[in-house]
Amino acid sequence: MLSVLDNISLSLDAYLVLAGLLFAIGSFGFLARRNAISMLMSIELMLNAVNLSIIAFGAFTISLRESASVIALIVIAAAAAEATVGLAIVIAIYRNRKTPLVDEYDAMRQ
Amino acid sequence: MTLPETIPLLGFGWDDLLFMILAGIMIGSALLVVTMKDIIRCGLAMIVCFAALAGLYVFAGAPLVAAAQVLVYIGAISVLVLFAIMLTQTKAGPASLVFQTQAFPAAIAAAVLALLIAVTVASTDWPEAGARIWTDTTKLAQTLFADFTLPFEVVSVLLLAAVVGAVYIAKREPGGSD
């Protein structure tokens, strides 16, 4: 039964399944949470899942070896920029509406 | 004293055990991030998740990315998120209702997504996938500064624009109400 787990750290499938699981958790958090910052945190989880799959492909494919790391570093930088702007927007909305809960942002509905 | 080649009783190697521990920590803390009620604790669980992910990057043979993960995610983004949480806490404390009304369908959709990805990954035969290889940091630097110079420069401009834009968006209006 445990033979599936043999050499699991050397199989591409394990990393990709892990990344898919992390992405699904992040998408659940993004869809289900009420707090805007929780949603941003879920987006960070999804970006990390994508990064993990990029790194996994780079680790098991010779032609991608250095490029994968470079792409992952660029994704990390883009994620940092996204987090900065996203949190600034949340703080700006909080200043006007006095709540971080996204289901109370209904100005466009009226 | 030297460790035995494989773990007694279980029969797989120490690498695999460490990989599974890191994967378990990562998935468990990610679940805590999306389900816990107190959002500060969600932020702290996110740090644990990022740390376990950095360990997985080392396992996948990318130590420089692991270092960048620790520096950027644990060092910068987590602190930014924690600051934003503390700036937007309402005085009534954490909201009693954590999830939207659509939480249950969202959970089903996420479970189906995870299942689909797992089935697709398991049934695909990756043609070029070979043994695990370590990334040489010297070669990585040469690739980054020779082949990827333009993306590197574009990213630096993007970061500058994001920082300036964030300061502009988040700053108080002069003569505003608060």
- Number of Cβ within a 10 Å radius of residue B173: 10
Taken as a whole, chain B contains a residue count of 178
Given a cut of 90, is residue B61 above it in pLDDT? no
User: What integer is the mean pLDDT of A29-39?
Assistant: 90
Tally helices (H) and strands (E) across chain A. Answer: 3, 0
- pLDDT-derived band of residue A9, with 50, 70 and 90 as boundaries? confident
Tell me whether B51 touches chain A (CB under 8 Å): no
Given a cut of 90, is residue B7 above it in pLDDT? no
Tell me whether B7 touches chain A (CB under 8 Å): no
Question: A36-60 and B78-87 are packed helices; what angle lies between their axes, rounded to 10 degrees?
Answer: 170
For B116-172, how does the pLDDT look when each residue is reduced to its tens digit (9 = 90+)? 999 999 898 877 667 778 888 898 999 999 999 999 999 999 999 999 999 998 887
Given a cut of 80, is residue B9 above it in pLDDT? no
The amino acid present at A107, given as its one-letter code, is A
Query: Is residue A16 included in any domain, yes or no?
Result: no
Rounded to whole angstroms, how far apart are CA atoms A29 and B134?
Answer: 33
Rounded to whole angstroms, how far apart are CA atoms B63 and B60?
Answer: 8
DSSP state of A20: H
Query: Is residue A61 included in any domain, yes or no?
Result: yes
CB contact under 8 A, B114 and A98: no
| Residue B13 backbone phi and psi in degrees, to 5 | -75, 170
Tell me whether B5 touches chain A (CB under 8 Å): no
In this structure, is the dihedral angle defined by the CA atoms of residues B31, B36, B39 and B43, taken in order, positive or negative?
negative
> How distant is the alpha carbon of residue B174 from its chain centre?
37
pLDDT confidence of residue B119: 94
List the CATH code of the domain at B10-90. 1.20.120.1200
Kindly list the domain boundaries of chain B, sorted by start residue: 10-90, 136-173
Given a cut of 50, is residue B20 above it in pLDDT? yes
Rounded to whole angstroms, how far apart are CA atoms A66 and A68?
Answer: 5
Query: Is residue A80 included in any domain, yes or no?
Result: yes
Q: Which residues of B touch A25 (CB under 8 A)?
A: 27, 30-31, 33-34, 110, 114
∠ CA B61-B68-A9, nearest 5°, is: 25
The model scores a pTM over 0.95: no
Rounded to whole angstroms, how far apart are CA atoms A62 and B129?
Answer: 8
Given a cut of 60, is residue B178 above it in pLDDT? no
Core vs surface per residue A71-104: b (16+ CB within 10 A) or e = bbbbbbbbbbbbbbbbbbbbbbbbbeeebbbbee
Closest by Cα among A33, A65, A12, A50 to B62: A65
CB contact under 8 A, B56 and A52: yes
| Residue A35 backbone phi and psi in degrees, to 5 | -85, 135
Given a cut of 60, is residue B94 above it in pLDDT? no
Rounded to whole angstroms, how far apart are CA atoms A77 and B68?
Answer: 9
pLDDT confidence of residue A103: 78
Query: Is residue A85 included in any domain, yes or no?
Result: yes
Given a cut of 80, is residue B81 above it in pLDDT? yes
Given a cut of 80, is residue A29 above it in pLDDT? yes
> In this complex, how many residue pairs, one in chain A and one in chain B, have their CB atoms less than 8 Å apart?
280
Tell me whether B87 touches chain A (CB under 8 Å): yes
Number of domains comprising chain A: 1
pLDDT confidence of residue A63: 84
Structural domain span for residue A72: 35-102
